[in-house]
Amino acid sequence: MDINEFVKQVKNKEIDIVEHTKQVLAKCKKINDEYHYFNEISSELALSQAQNLKKNPVGRLAGVAVSVKDCLCVKGVQSRGGSAVLNGYKPVFNATAVQKLIDEGAIIIGKTAQDEFGFGSFSTNVGNGLDIPLNPFDKTRACGGSSGGSGGITQVADFAHVSLGESTGGSIVAPASFCGVVGFCPTYGRVSRYGLMDYANSLDKIGAMTKKISDTALVQELISGYDNKESTTLNSPVDKYSDWLSQDVKGQRIGIIKECFGEGVDEQVSKHVWNGIKKLEDAGVKYDEVSLPLVKKYGVETYYLIAMSETSTNLAKYCGMRYGAHDKLKEGFNDYFSKVRSKNFGKEAKRRIIIGTFARMAGFRDAYYMKAMAVRTKIINEYKSHFKKYKALVSPTMPILPPTFKEIEKLTPLQNYMMDIMTVGSNLAGMPHVNINVGKSNGLPVGMLMTADHLKERRLFQLGGVFEK
């Protein structure tokens, strides 16, 4: 159901929000048994929010069910970032983005499945003891990652629902593409990261995943803005994104990233993305081919050096003392930390701790981390040079259709990392980007990626609006 229409009915008390929420929770439990989209369903919280709302139905999201990626803190609800190392951790506060939605009457229904701390592109690197979410169109295939649970539940929910995802290097748009929904990643600093379990601080962003771009526009409007609890948030006004959905696009110029088509990209993916571009063209948009050679040549390497370096320090706090998993302290502290970490971190988390720590070591830091940061600046400039002429740059979101779990098993770590070739560029540059579904091939969704300049989110809503008309 259309969210605005639903909210209106809740406010007019045409919908009994408590009964509705009970039904939503029952549906989620059923969906979860089949598809594993939730690490936690927060029934108690949802029902108490519904009861409060019944008395006083206010807010722009009154009664809307919101699922939240597991790495965002929800007060009193087990929040693990998809990791066993945080088993039992219940935050004592809400992440700012979560709080802002609650303040608008949202009902938090649960924490969605993800790759452990965001380490992956398929949501197959889940923490020890957690389930892998299954693609809504074919259960033998992946949802994409790392916000896979958010993508899946957004596709299958037949009730008013939106999800909050998180992206470091593509984790919102990748699952949005594989699950056939809208996924939006804002400019770095546009949405407060307060209450987000850091993956890599200089890259992490929070954004909406929804069925329709108009719902995304609403959620982004609500969660964006300065936060005095988070020093990297930007203190500039937030555009009224919803107003941009219906703005004429005639005469606007976009750039098609030529390196993102051809070798290594599934033909069906290219074909459908070109259909999407044609749709924009029919609405009056002009396009040229553009080139981003630095992103193609150095994007994945630069991204993984920065992401792993930063995450290896961020994960140091999970040592069995302060948060989550604990054990009996029988030995010295170092042995105790090793015991807890060895037992509770998954394989990919350990790989990233080792590589990231190596890249930051005295003697290597300048050669790897600092060099990657310098290349990143060049990549930002490469994007910026195109935004003098173009409103947005377009490419496929993922180079392939959603793969089967069997196919994923055969990939080496490096082949896994290469899946992010389309998405790491805009993430390294901290630029806003959106996934729009542009059709299906053999029943599997194909996503198109549009990237805009810093703080030009409105351009993405303007162009994205074409697909909702």
Nearest distance from residue 62's CB to ligand GLN, in Å? 31
Query: Token match 């082949």: residue?
Result: 415
169 part of the interface to ligand GLN, by CB under 6 A: yes
462 part of the interface to ligand GLN, by CB under 6 A: no
Smallest CA-to-CA distance from 174 within 464, 5, 407, 423 is with 423
171 part of the interface to ligand GLN, by CB under 6 A: yes
Cβ burial, residue 414 (10 Å; 0-12/13-18/19+): exposed
Catalytic site residue 83? Answer: no
Query: Token match 């107003």: residue?
Result: 243
Of 59, 81, 110, 120, the one binding ligand GLN (CB under 6 A) is 120
Catalytic site residue 171? Answer: yes
Smallest CA-to-CA distance from 300 within 404, 372, 388, 195 is with 372
| Active-site choice (27, 54, 69, 111) | 69
Site for ligand GLN in 197-256 (CB under 6 A): 199
Of 35, 119, 178, 387, the one binding ligand GLN (CB under 6 A) is 119
Give whichever of 265 and 285 is closer to ligand GLN, judged by the CB atom: 265
Span from 2-10, 118-126, 336-344, 428-436 in contact with ligand GLN (CB under 6 A): 118-126
Are 86 and 323 within 8 A, CB to CB? yes
Continuous H helices in 345-370:
347-360
| Active-site choice (67, 79, 123, 171) | 171
165 part of the interface to ligand GLN, by CB under 6 A: no
Structure tokens at 277: 């571009």
Of 21, 32, 49, 168, the one binding ligand GLN (CB under 6 A) is 168
Give whichever of 71 and 254 is closer to ligand GLN, judged by the CB atom: 71
**Contacts with ligand GLN: how many residues (CB under 6 A)?**
13
186 part of the interface to ligand GLN, by CB under 6 A: no
CA distance 438 to 447: 6
185 part of the interface to ligand GLN, by CB under 6 A: no
Q: Residue 174 in 3-state DSSP? A: helix
Dihedral sign, Cα of residue 80, residue 83, residue 89, residue 91: negative
123 part of the interface to ligand GLN, by CB under 6 A: no
Q: Residue 376 in 3-state DSSP? A: helix
Q: Residue 272 in 3-state DSSP? A: helix
Catalytic site residue 147? Answer: no
Residues of this chain that bind ligand GLN (CB under 6 A): 118-121, 146, 167-171, 199, 307, 420
